[in-house]
Amino acid sequence: MRERILNAARRKPVDTTPIWIMRQAGRYLPEYRQLRERHSMEEICRAPELTVEATLQPLRRFDLDAAILFSDLLVPLWGMGVSFDLVEGRGPVLQKALTPAELAVLPPLDLGGVEFTFHAIRLLRRELDRPLIGFTGGPFTFASYLIEGKPSRDYPRTRAFLHTYPREWEGLMKRLADNLALYLKGQIEAGVQMVQIFDSWVGVLSPQDFRERVKPYLNAQLEQVGNGVPRIYFSTASAHLFPEFVTLPVEVMGVDWRVSLTQAKGIFDNTYALQGNLDPTLLLGHEEDLLAKASTIVGEGRMLVGHIFNLGHGILPATPPERVARLVDWVHAQGARG
């Protein structure tokens, strides 16, 4: 088992900089597009054999240091009795808007309703010679999807909800923290060796709203998961919240492309290993620009107690696969320790 990514996450020595890529399994790969011609996104998520195929596709092309389970962020909602559609080009869309009262009494997660996820993990562990990353969302990001009903730009309904319905907000966030922790623990029991919490939209909040209305529930989720495997926390456009993130119980802090690793180190002060943070659009431009920036990030990463190379957000569908292969090899070559 290749363990360099686990060592980096635990701030232990590595032989070279490890790399994986958010959304590394997906639409930029021709073989994935062929899979989607035959199966819907929901079918791939619900059928363990198809999940395994989608997860393994990038590892057949690239020398990545980890696999990430192919799934959708909102899959746990199926285990909470909430229906949604995966709409091409739009993302998940709830079939029925929930009232504040319904949101406050969201049911407990039925693990049997998402057993297909755990079955896929068990199958993948038989195939893989490197770690498997599981994932879910943070309570705020899940709440924002539930309240808005679909992806939004600034999540105004969610921000209004947390002030207008404080009791319902508290009930919703408590249940989401418990349910999402249970989902991650189920993934760990099935065999994942790292987990990432995507809190993609938390950057729309002010520091005060995050601290008072979100952080207690995020802490509860993370503490229930425990530190048996490395925990990665990732959000975007959230540098203004970094001082609030300093005390989160995780091993790895994801950094998007808007902040350098050096700047992040100045705030986190080696509390965590850092993950990131190449701008995904550089994979679409000139190769010399891509490799120059990758070298800078690898160099900054050498100054950290632990660094996992990644993009600062998910890979874009128009990305040429050959650019990804070049990046992965470059990072390993530039990051090699003597």
- Residue whose entry in the numeric block shows the structure tokens 């100045």: 266
CATH number at 150 reads 3.20.20.210
Number of folded domains that form the chain = 1
Q: Which residue, among 214, 176, 221, has the nearest Cα to 195 in the 3D structure?
A: 221
Determine the Cα–Cα distance for residues 168 and 336; give it in Å rounded to an integer: 51
155 is catalytic: no
125 is catalytic: no
Residues 6+ positions from 15 with CB-CB distance below 8 Å: 4, 336, 337
pLDDT in tens for each of the 338 residues of the chain?
A: 899 999 999 999 999 999 999 999 999 999 999 999 999 999 999 999 999 999 999 999 999 999 999 999 999 999 999 988 877 767 778 877 788 989 988 999 999 999 999 999 999 999 999 999 999 999 999 999 999 887 777 899 999 999 999 999 999 999 999 999 999 999 999 999 999 999 989 999 999 999 999 999 999 999 999 999 999 999 999 999 999 999 999 999 999 999 999 999 999 998 999 999 999 999 999 999 999 999 999 999 999 999 999 999 999 999 999 999 999 999 999 999 97
Query: Domain range for residue 36?
Result: 4-334
Q: Which of 27, 159, 323, 326 is catalytic?
A: 27
Beta bridge partners of 271: none
Determine the Cα–Cα distance for residues 2 and 122; give it in Å rounded to an integer: 18
23 is catalytic: yes
Q: Which of 28, 32, 145, 233 is catalytic?
A: 145
Distance of CA 154 to the CA centre of its chain: 20
Q: Which residue, among 302, 234, 322, 263, has the nearest Cα to 17 in the 3D structure?
A: 302
183 is catalytic: no
110 is catalytic: no
Alpha carbon of 174 to those of 52, 74, 82, 269, 335: distances in Å?
32, 17, 17, 30, 42
Q: How high is the pLDDT of residue 92?
A: 79
Determine the Cα–Cα distance for residues 219 and 249; give it in Å rounded to an integer: 7
Name the residue type at position 31. E
Determine the Cα–Cα distance for residues 117 and 108; give it in Å rounded to an integer: 17
Q: How high is the pLDDT of residue 1?
A: 85
Q: Which of 2, 36, 61, 258 is catalytic?
A: 36
Determine the Cα–Cα distance for residues 212 and 218; give it in Å rounded to an integer: 11
Q: How high is the pLDDT of residue 84?
A: 85
Q: How high is the pLDDT of residue 89?
A: 67
Q: Which of 10, 72, 165, 211 is catalytic?
A: 72
Q: Which of 11, 23, 175, 231 is catalytic?
A: 23
Residue 138 DSSP one-character state: -
310 phi and psi angles, rounded to 5 deg: -160, 175
SS3 68: strand
